[in-house]
């Protein structure tokens, strides 16, 4: 039985993870973490997640519980996640990271730390999104330069980063299939007199409002036809279940940076 520490236990995904753990064999909640000074510290993690008392109190210091757990699942914020990754690497604990919004420098540090421990890092742990990535790469290669590609994502009003980590993953899938660098091809929205759309541009648009869990669309727009690949999440539970699938997988891997596609055995 693998004992997992959930970082960001008080957030939407943290609570969903704690709920999902109760229905997953081979894994149990060993620790629940929130940021130091959080009003949630000391609460029972099970009661916080709405599954009843589990006897696991929410703590503010990962280092105090690391010796007694087998792996870390982190859905918190970039800087705390980096600190948790440093601690986990020092003690040889595998990680599953779902935090988004990392800077390029922070992501490079995660990559360096993954040389010491196995890490699954993904902006989205949905099996459906992972399959979408495969379909998007296939469609991009098949269409070639005959279509214009636009990406649209929508999330709840409380999401703090835009575009979403998942939308960037979709953009990377397009750019990879085109053999291009996403940073040079990407355009975030449009305003004013933009001129004619240049060939090869990848448009990305973010909507925020209400309680939208996640809606991602990729449009392949050609002359006389349009293909849309869309994924709609109606519950965070699918993300939580995918993250636990990654957690059960990553402990058997050598050090390295892994993605959800590798967890599912899909060809990269």
Tens of pLDDT, residue by residue over 66-79, are 999 999 999 999 99
Give the active site residue among 159, 205, 231, 257.
159
Query: Does residue 99 contact residue 76 with C-beta atoms inside 8 Å?
Result: yes
Side-chain half-sphere of 204: how many Cα atoms within 13 Å?
21
Fold classification of 2-125+236-263 is: Rossmann fold (3.40.50)
**Is residue 268 predicted with pLDDT exceeding 80?**
no
Give the active site residue among 84, 93, 155, 216.
155
Residue 2 bears catalytic tag: no
**Is residue 153 predicted with pLDDT exceeding 80?**
yes
pLDDT, residue 205, reads 97
Query: Does residue 3 contact residue 30 with C-beta atoms inside 8 Å?
Result: yes
165 phi, psi to nearest 5 deg = -60, -35
Query: Does residue 47 contact residue 227 with C-beta atoms inside 8 Å?
Result: no
pLDDT, residue 236, reads 84
- Taking the C-alpha atoms of residue 39 and residue 252, their distance in angstroms, rounded to an integer, is 36
Q: Which residue has the tokens 């940021």?
A: 35
Architecture of the 127-233 domain: 2-Layer Sandwich (3.30)
Question: What is the band of 209 on the pLDDT scale with cuts at 50, 70, 90?
Answer: very high
3-state SS assignment for residue 217 = strand
Mean local confidence (pLDDT), 44-54: 96
Residue 216 bears catalytic tag: no
pLDDT, residue 75, reads 96
- Taking the C-alpha atoms of residue 257 and residue 9, their distance in angstroms, rounded to an integer, is 23
Domain spans, the chain: 2-125+236-263, 127-233
Mean local confidence (pLDDT), 151-172: 93
pLDDT, residue 165, reads 87
């Amino acid at each position: 039985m693998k004992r997992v520490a959930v970082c960001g236990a008080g957030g939407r995904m943290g609570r969903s993870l704690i709920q999902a753990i109760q229905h997953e064999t081979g894994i149990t909640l060993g620790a629940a973490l929130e940021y130091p000074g959080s009003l949630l510290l000391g609460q029972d993690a099970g009661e916080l997640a709405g599954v009843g008392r589990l006897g696991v109190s929410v703590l503010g210091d990962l280092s105090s519980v690391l010796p007694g757990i087998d792996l870390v699942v982190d859905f918190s914020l970039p800087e705390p996640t980096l600190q948790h990754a440093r601690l986990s690497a020092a003690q040889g604990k595998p990680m599953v990271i779902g935090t988004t919004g990392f800077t390029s420098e922070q992501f490079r540090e995660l990559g360096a730390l993954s040389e010491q421990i196995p890490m699954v890092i993904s902006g989205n742990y949905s099996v459906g999104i992972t399959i979408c990535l495969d379909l998007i790469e296939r469609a991009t290669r098949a269409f070639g330069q005959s279509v214009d590609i636009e990406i649209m994502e929508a999330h709840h009003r409380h999401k703090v980063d835009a575009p979403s980590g998942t939308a960037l993953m979709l953009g990377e899938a397009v750019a990879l299939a085109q053999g291009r660098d996403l940073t040079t091809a990407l355009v975030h929205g449009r305003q004013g007199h933009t001129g004619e759309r240049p060939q090869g541009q990848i448009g990305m648009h973010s909507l925020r409002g209400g309680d939208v869990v996640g809606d991602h669309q990729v449009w392949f727009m050609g002359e006389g036809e349009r293909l849309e690949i869309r994924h709609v999440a109606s519950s965070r539970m699918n993300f939580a279940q995918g993250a636990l699938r990654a957690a059960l997988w990553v402990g058997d891997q050598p050090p390295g940076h892994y993605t959800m596609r590798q967890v599912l055995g899909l060809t990269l």
